[in-house]
Structure 1
Amino acid sequence: MRNILLFLLLLGFAGCGDFLEESSKDEVRPSTVDDLMQVMVGEGYPMGMLDYPYTDLLSDDVQCNGAGTDETMVSRVEEIRSLFLWEDDMFEILKADGYNSWKKCYNKIMGCNTILDYIDKVTGEQTAKDNLRGQAYVLRAYYYFLLVNYYALPYNFGNPAENLGVPLKLEMAVHDGFMARNSVAEVYEQIVKDLEKGIQLLEENPVEMSLYKIHALAGKSILCRVYLYMEDLDNTLKYANMVLEEKSTLTSLASMPTDAMQYQGNSVWSIYNSSTSDEIIWMYGGSGMFSSLYPSAYSAMNPFTPSDELMDLYDFSATDANNHGDLRVYAYYYWNMYLNWSPFEYVAFPEYGYKGGRSLSYAAHGIRTAELYLNRAEVYVRKFMETGEGNFRTLALADLNKLRENRYDTRTTAYEEVDIKDADELWQFYQEERRRELSFEGHRWFDLRRYGMPELSHVYFVKTGEAETITTLREGDPRYVLPIPQVALDRNPYLEQNKR
């Protein structure tokens, strides 16, 4: 373990340099594939630190409630202002390490490149080496996918061959000169290439590992998502079918224990808990921002919560103990019995004599089979809209109803299937269902971008009754693309900042 720690220290201090070739003779480099796997875990895997909850603050899934009566929350609410309102000085807050996805993703890409460059220099079985190589390719693709969706225009906006993407750094070694931004199309081409190569290696060299590690099915699921964003419907369908043929399970939320069907309390039930959920394909841990914004007093309000608009989309009842309806409200959110958060006064537990408050409860991120059903349904809806063929409508509704049947309270009441005839109404319903199902898993901001970057407004205030600030993103607003952190621009004069 000491050898690995030394190696990691070198990695941290050397940055992207070819530190392996320059290390002291007294420093011991990884000598086995197992050593390198430990490096991969620390330097290549996300560990809950990449698709930050801050993108939810940019979307319509979060609203501002002010600081209430909690004076200690004022500074926290003000800290988030520029981000929540998409202001020009969000450059400054995004420069901080806690929000700097540019730095975090490129550090992880550096870790993957290190594995790829160094894998043939260690001993071990070839199967283990090639499996690790496959993991590195898939994860590198995943980080570039995040980067190009944070810091570039959507693939389906304008000409991706001309729109600026992000620089492609595909080797560990440092080269002379600085790197300019590749096009969006070039970045996506590399993402697909890495995923295809990684999937092939993982399929040909299977190794039994936990759901926290990348495997071929996870790679196919990520590639399905990539093709969806590219609006390559046939390949999206191809990979959705591949994954669902191998793993089609959906977890019935009606199987939740009683304590989870109240306010989550001390229940360990979670859609991302492998002991309670059967639909996990890949997962990694961590929540983050919202837990740091909890008020310090029971009388106070949480300053940022899931929006009323989002929560109104759920067909949910807290008062009907026999049929709660859409159980995702209980399964995907955390209720705190002490905090009286006024935006959610309409949801109450009269039997306990208090109003409920809602916060975010997600212990992990990753990929679930639910997303693959939704991806496939989107293909069918789009094909129905394009062709008018009723078979595509039937297939889309079959996937949507299968998902929803596993989300509703069916303990005493059978699920009633949705049947929508109109193509535009079906498309709207699909978008809402995707929003309900994948809330706070890193999808909404990206989905809004690929849906055409619609007009979006945020209302901000610090204390109730004081002046409100209302900011609106217009349709196609350039602020749908995040600014590249200034620290990255300062270090690389070849980088061009995104327009505001």
Structure 2
Amino acid sequence: MMKQYIILSVLIFLFGSCDSFLKEYSQDLAYAETITDLEEVLIGNGYLDRGTSFKWLHTMDDDLEESVVNSNYTDYENFFIWASYPCTRNNTVYRDETWVTLYKNISAINVVLSKLKDISDFPEEVERLRGECHFLRGFYYYFLVNTYAKPYVKESASTDLGVPLKTTEYIEDIYFKRNTVEETYALITSDLEASARLLKGKAHQSGFQANYHAVQAFLSRVYLYLGEYEAALQAADSVLQGDYALLDYNEFAQTVASPADIYGIHDIVPVDVIHQTSVETIFTQGAGAFAGNISAFGIAAGSELARVNRYKASEDLVQMYSKEQDWGTDLRPTFFMYVNQTDPTSKRYIQKQTTSSLTTASSEFLLRLPEVLLNKAEALAMLGKDAEAMAVLEELRVKRIVAAEYKELDARSGKKLIELIRDERRRELCGEGHRWFDLRRYAVHPKYPSTKEIVHDHYFYDNSIRQVTYVGSYKLNMYESEPAYVIPIPQHVIEFNKGNMVDNETRPDREAFIRF
């Protein structure tokens, strides 16, 4: 038993202290012996719990802007302004919980995989658990490499630094170094392909546990990142054989709240279209960041004060829904955004993964049928199958456009088709953890590169006089001259590994400028 317990210290380099690591970590792994024990360990320590979300990811892109109407909420401020070291609050460095959480879960997964080798009974169940382990580990390394490393570029992936890879459960008396981006993606695809083999034909446990179609859905995304379009298409088509369906937003009625809330405002009541039990949901784990959770007081979705969210939908995002207005009115803003009726243009809050009586979905670890269709459309377009790509887009659009106004889009090809798919991806998948990663991969796209400057206006709310003051604006430059598209390796990891863990390029101390 003690041997298994000691194994848990294998990733102490992630925390800087063996003692603090073991205090946090569940001791269940020390006593897991049966297949039931190991499944409980995997669910409790390998999967993300329903309180975990990585809200900071949404604050760096062009889909959100500040909406300071009541108080200041500084937890994500330094991500929002692309600070040199974003994991700081009030000039104090805090522990990077994203790194800690994901590597801790990977450590648990490695132990479960090792222990499963010792179990000869119930081979089908052993295969299923192994498949779930490989899926989760691949998902976590994908998130890590897209956070702490440069986006995948085939020509430089063998030298670009990725993240440290650990696939064994035993202690190694070494200081850890970063593997390359190429090595990281090789492990991701290897894990996912192994998971697909192991989970094929296995019973689907729940929307919170990995299944064959979840693996294929995720593979369709990863292969797009790698530019392997035939493989992405094949993976997407595998998912489309599953028992999933698109919701038709024309079939859901929007209502206006009555009576008015405590502010005398009648708001549009959001409809739960994205949740764990939806026919569109393939897999989800962790918590949802929208709405209410990125807010002045951490207010829960649906509460009277949900409109004081620190971040609202950007005007740039809102305008995306009218870009193709000639082909019909897009219904998604009324489903994806919480609208304050007194000021519907400036008080729109992304409200996805909402929950009333339904189980919330994750805002970062969510796989839905619409994404699979968009992945398929992109793969088809990159393979020169333009008409087929347009047809796939229309499968989604007909469910999202007002039925009486719906018209098929004009035929597009080449760069214009790719731009349309990217726009549609932004409209459909906002608030689901895609946009920041997509901006990175678009910037290095081998055929149709695209990058942009992003400006975030920053405000301060003075509680004593209840007044909002414009502080200034911060600019993220185009990708080629901007190191802030990559998050720094946590300082405690650099220090603990005594210089063996190389950090990313230093991000500049960004100064605010006045633009109005």
* TM-score (norm: length of structure 1): 0.81
C-alpha spacing 1:299/1:120, structure 2 compared with 1 (3 Å): closer
Q: Distance in 2 between matches of 1:208 and 1:124?
A: 21
34-43 vs 291-300, greater mean Cα deviation: 291-300
Matched with 1:393 is: 386
CA contact (8 A) 1:381 1:393 kept: yes
User: d(CA) in 2 for partners of 1:106 and 1:41?
Assistant: 16
Q: How do residues 315-394 of structure 1 correspond to structure 2 at under 5 angstroms?
A: 315=322, 325-335=329-339, 344-345=344-345, 357-362=348-353, 363-365=360-362, 366-384=366-384, 392-394=385-387
2:496 is equivalent to residue 491 of structure 1: yes
Distance in 1 (CA, whole Å) between partners of 2:402 and 2:256 is 13
Per mean C-alpha deviation after superposition, the further-off stretch among 484-493 and 227-236 is 484-493
Tell me the SS of whatever aligns to 1:394.
Answer: helix
Residue 44 of structure 2 is aligned with which of 39, 42, 45? 42
Compute the displacement of 1:469 (Å): 2.6
The 5 A counterparts of 1:70-81 are 70=70, 73-74=71-72, 76=73, 78-81=74-77
**In 2, distance between residues paired with 1:125 and 1:299?**
48
The alignment status of 1:272 with 2:278, answered yes or no, reads no
* Alpha carbons 1:260, 1:330 under 8 Å: kept: no
Aligned to 2:292: 291
Letter in 2 for 1:281: I
What displacement does 1:465 show? 4.8
Asked if 2 retains the 8 angstrom alpha-carbon contact of 1:7 and 1:29, the reply is no
Whether the 8 Å contact between 1:63 and 1:307 is mirrored in structure 2 is yes
Question: Secondary structure of the residue that 1:468 maps to in structure 2?
Answer: strand
Residues 1:434 and 2:425 aligned together: yes
Shift of 1:480: 0.3
Aligned counterpart, 2:511: none
Work out which of the residue numbers 241, 251, 256 in structure 1 matches 2:252.
256
Q: Trace 1:156-305 onto structure 2 (pairs within 5 A).
A: 156=153, 159-203=156-200, 206-247=202-243, 249-259=245-255, 265=269, 269-274=272-277, 277-288=278-289, 291-295=292-296, 301-305=308-312
Aligned match of 2:401 in 399, 408, 429? Answer: 408
Contact 1:489 1:497 in 2 (8 A): yes
> 1:375-414, CA deviations, whole angstroms, 9 ceiling, x for partnerless residues?
1111222233xxxxxxx2211110111101111232xx15
Cα distance between partner residues in 1 of 2:270 and 2:235: 38
Deviation at 1:198, TM superposition (A): 1.3
Q: How far apart are the structure 2 equivalents of 1:114 and 1:242? A: 30
Secondary structure of 1:470 counterpart: strand
> Is the contact made by 2:453 and 2:475 (CA closer than 8 Å) also made in structure 1?
no
1:37-116 equivalences under 5 Å are 37-48=39-50, 52-65=54-67, 67-68=68-69, 70=70, 73-74=71-72, 76=73, 78-92=74-88, 96-97=94-95, 100-116=97-113
Check whether the contact 1:100–1:485 (CA below 8 A) recurs between aligned residues.
no
Task: Return the letter of the residue paired with 2:330.
Answer: D
Residues in 1 aligned to 2:80 and 2:279: alpha-carbon distance in whole angstroms: 35
Q: Is the 8 A contact 2:110 2:167 kept in 1?
A: yes
Give, in whole Å, the separation in 1 of the partners of 2:249 and 2:437: 26
CA distance in 2, matches of 1:51, 1:375: 24
Report the secondary structure of 2:275's partner residue.
coil
Query: Quick one: structure 1 residues 122 and 260, their matched pair in 2 at CA, closer, same or farther if it must change by over 3 Å?
Result: farther
**Count of residue pairs the alignment pairs up:** 452
Q: Check whether the contact 2:291–2:352 (CA below 8 A) recurs between aligned residues.
A: no
Amino acid of the structure 1 residue aligned with 2:63 = D
Going from structure 1 to structure 2, the CA distance change for 1:281 and 1:289 (only over 3 Å counts) comes to closer
SS across alignment from 2:349: strand
Task: Rate the CA distance shift 1:238–1:11 in 2: closer, same or farther, 3 A.
Answer: farther
SS at match of 1:395: helix
Higher helix proportion: 1
CA distance in 1, matches of 2:106, 2:286: 19
CA distance in 2, matches of 1:496, 1:271: 40
SS in 2 for 1:311: helix
CA-atom RMSD, angstroms? 3.4
What is the deviation of 1:213? 0.7
Partner of 2:479: 475
2:320 corresponding residue in structure 1:
313
- 1:353 — aligned with what? none
* CA contact 1:50–1:104 (8 Å) conserved in 2: no
* 8 Å Cα contact 1:152-1:165 kept in structure 2: yes
**CA–CA distance in 1 between the matches of 2:47 and 2:30?**
23
Helix, strand or coil at the partner of 2:136: helix
The alignment-based identity, stated in percent, is 27
- 1:263 to 1:279, Cα distance in 2 relative to 1, 3 A: farther
**2:435 paired residue number:** 444
Residue 211 of structure 1 contacts residue 283 of structure 1 at CA under 8 Å; is this kept in 2? yes
1:298 to 1:168, Cα distance in 2 relative to 1, 3 A: closer
Q: Are the structure 2 counterparts of residues 263 and 272 from structure 1 closer, same or farther at C-alpha, using a change threshold of 3 Å? A: farther
Q: CA deviation at 1:256?
A: 1.9
Aligned equivalents of 2:52 and 2:179: distance in 1? 21
2:163 touches 2:184 (CA, 8 Å); kept in 1? yes
Q: Which residue of 2 aligns with 1:23?
A: none
Aligned equivalents of 2:453, 2:477: Cα separation in 1: 5
Separation in structure 2 between the aligned mates of residue 425 and residue 161 of structure 1, nearest angstrom: 31
CA distance in 1 between partners of 2:424 and 2:348 (Å): 23
In the aligned structure 1, how far is the partner of 2:231 from the partner of 2:306? 52
Determine the C-alpha separation between the residues in 1 that align with 2:256 and 2:432. Answer: 20
Shift of 1:143: 0.5
Unaligned residue ranges in structure 1 (runs of 5+)? 21-26, 317-322, 347-355, 385-391
Once the two structures are TM-superposed, the CA of residue 178 in structure 1 deviates from its matched residue by 1.4
Query: What whole-Å deviation, never above 9, does each CA across 1:86-135 have from its counterpart, x for those lacking one?
Result: 111314359635x5311111111111101101113347411111110111
Shift of 1:420: 3.3
